[in-house]
């Protein structure tokens, strides 16, 4: 089955001025198909001044939205509301001293997580970043397990040992949460290799085809060597992986336009022979359509895809970031394009659901998040005996003494006087 054709302009954000001032915009990319991109030479623009999407002055009119059923639309809305309300509650709990360390929230980027992850099957894998709470929720990890992990409690999805940046759930095939940029991409590439090995060598494939891996990372990661190495390896072996760039335009406090020689990240895909697609990451229906084709392509054994989702985070880099580097007009511009508000408007205009039905979903999610907080708050802290678990491969190694007890339980252990 041939890959479906995409029109680049169909997925671009609407024309608007970015904080780039008087910078000239890129011309709109010409129409292309995912298949033809494999052979398309990278075009070097004479003046790299801005990312291509919402600074376009003459973008073609947006195409009609893809068909979405009532059930699909409500599933998307509920997942996005869960992500937003959960993160808002995390901010409250952080400032109340219930969470510790760095906490990076996902507000504003929900269309990317929902648009991609809700297209997956249970055996498919997700590899995330330090901004991973909502990816975990979209993959089906219960809100109470994610909240308890953030509280550092034994009932968390990692028994309180992972915290905000290291969500993991084997039953849901969520492979992390990685604190360092680019750290998860080789893990995701390995998971995709394992899926292909199971399919082609062990003959353990599912009826739908290959299991697929999504690797999420940000724009700042795309200047990291592991990114390029894994693009090459994935295309060389035709691995069933989608590299999803959540380009929120800022790498902590560094503007994407100042740090990247060519800010059109999607063009790095064709450089390795794989399709590269740019999509408006503030529109869940557009993200969903691109995700569906890329995932179907991977399942058929046609190899990887690089998808650049241009989005925006509504909060600072982390809850410790005062967010003083981004211009107020830039922030207000993207706040006006809130992906949840846009989907709600579409659902009502298309008579897919009433406002009262959407209010019921919001109330349901409020209850889920409140219950998650109550559960996390009432849960026990991990025992000290858990401290050295999952550290040493040999369970009778350094962490456990001759008597079979954990050395860290010796009262003298922290005084440096315990026999080792």
The residues, any chain, with a CB within 8 Å of residue 103's CB and separated by 6 or more, are: 90, 91, 94, 150, 164, 318, 319
Please report the beta strands in 178-314, taking only residues with DSSP state E, as ranges in sequence order.
213-218, 241-247, 250-251, 254-255, 276-280, 305-310
Question: What residues contact residue 200 under an 8 Å CB cut-off, 6+ apart?
Answer: none
The 10 Å Cβ neighbour count of residue 140 is 17
Joined tokens for residue 326: 């981004």
Alpha carbon distances (Å) from 145 to 19, 66, 88, 405: 39, 34, 17, 29
Mind listing the pLDDT tens digit of every residue in the chain (420 residues)?
333 344 333 343 333 333 333 333 333 333 333 333 333 333 332 332 334 333 323 333 444 666 799 999 999 999 999 999 999 999 999 999 999 889 999 999 999 999 999 999 999 999 999 999 999 999 999 999 999 999 999 999 999 999 999 999 999 999 999 999 999 999 999 999 999 999 999 998 788 899 999 999 999 999 999 999 999 999 999 999 999 999 999 999 999 999 999 999 999 999 999 999 999 999 999 999 999 999 999 999 999 999 999 999 999 999 999 999 999 999 999 999 999 999 999 999 999 999 999 999 999 999 999 999 999 999 999 998 787 777 765 554 456 667 777 666 777 765 654 454
Helix ranges (H only) for 118-263 are 133-138, 143-150, 184-200, 225-236, 256-259
Percentages of the chain per state (helix, strand, coil), in multiples of 5: 40, 10, 50
Res 31: pLDDT: 33
Q: How far apart are CA 414 and CA 165, in angstroms?
A: 27
Radius of gyration of the chain (CA): 22
Per-residue tokens: 358: 């959407």
The CATH T-level fold of domain 70-378 is Rossmann fold (3.40.50)
> What does the domain layout of the chain look like in residue ranges?
70-378, 393-419
What integer pLDDT is reported at residue 2 of this predicted model? 37
Structure tokens at 88: 């808002």
DSSP state letters, 40-86:
PPPPPPS---S-SSTT-SSPPPPPPPPP--HHHHHHHHHHHHHHHHH
Question: Residues 340, 110: contact at Cβ < 8 Å?
Answer: yes
Q: What is the 3-state secondary structure (H, E, C) of 143-171?
A: HHHHHHHHCCCCCCCCCCCCCCCCCCECC
Structure tokens at 196: 């292909």
């Amino acid at each position: 089955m041939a890959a479906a054709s995409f029109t680049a302009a169909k997925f671009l954000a609407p024309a608007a001025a970015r904080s780039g001032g008087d910078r000239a915009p890129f011309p709109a990319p010409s129409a292309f198909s995912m298949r033809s991109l494999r052979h398309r030479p990278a075009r070097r623009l004479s003046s790299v001044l801005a990312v291509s999407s919402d600074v376009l002055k003459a973008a073609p009119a947006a195409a009609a939205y893809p068909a979405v059923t009532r059930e699909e639309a409500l599933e998307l809305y509920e997942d996005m509301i869960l992500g937003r309300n959960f993160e808002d509650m995390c901010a409250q709990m952080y400032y109340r001293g219930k969470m510790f360390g760095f906490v990076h929230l996902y507000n504003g980027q929900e269309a990317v997580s929902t648009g991609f992850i809700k297209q997956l099957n249970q055996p498919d894998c997700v590899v995330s970043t330090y901004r991973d709470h909502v990816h975990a929720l979209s993959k089906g990890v219960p809100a109470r397990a994610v909240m308890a992990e953030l509280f550092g409690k034994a009932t968390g999805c990692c028994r309180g040992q992972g915290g905000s940046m290291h969500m993991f759930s084997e039953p849901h095939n969520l492979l992390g949460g990685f604190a360092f940029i680019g750290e998860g991409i080789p893990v995701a590439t390995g998971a995709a290799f394992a899926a292909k090995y199971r399919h082609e060598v062990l003959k353990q494939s599912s009826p739908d085809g290959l299991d697929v891996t999504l690797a999420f990372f940000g724009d700042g990661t795309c200047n990291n060597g592991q990114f390029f190495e894994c693009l090459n390896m994935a295309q060389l072996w035709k691995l069933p992986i989608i590299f999803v760039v959540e380009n929120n335009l800022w790498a902590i406090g560094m503007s994407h336009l100042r740090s990247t020689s060519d800010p059109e990240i999607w063009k790095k895909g064709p450089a390795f022979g794989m399709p590269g697609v740019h999509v408006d990451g503030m529109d869940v229906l557009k993200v969903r359509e691109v995700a569906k084709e890329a995932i179907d392509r991977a399942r058929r054994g046609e190899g990887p895809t690089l998808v650049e989702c241009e989005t925006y985070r509504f909060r600072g880099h982390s809850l410790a970031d005062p967010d003083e580097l981004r211009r107020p007009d830039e922030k207000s511009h993207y706040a006006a394009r809130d992906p949840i508000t846009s989907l709600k408007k579409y659902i009502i205009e298309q008579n897919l659901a009433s406002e009262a039905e959407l209010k019921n979903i919001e109330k349901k999610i409020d209850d889920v998040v409140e219950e998650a907080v109550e559960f996390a708050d009432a849960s026990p802290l991990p025992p000290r005996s858990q401290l050295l678990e999952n550290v040493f491969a040999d369970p009778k190694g350094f962490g456990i003494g001759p008597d079979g007890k954990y050395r860290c339980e010796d009262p003298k252990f922290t005084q440096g006087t315990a026999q080792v």
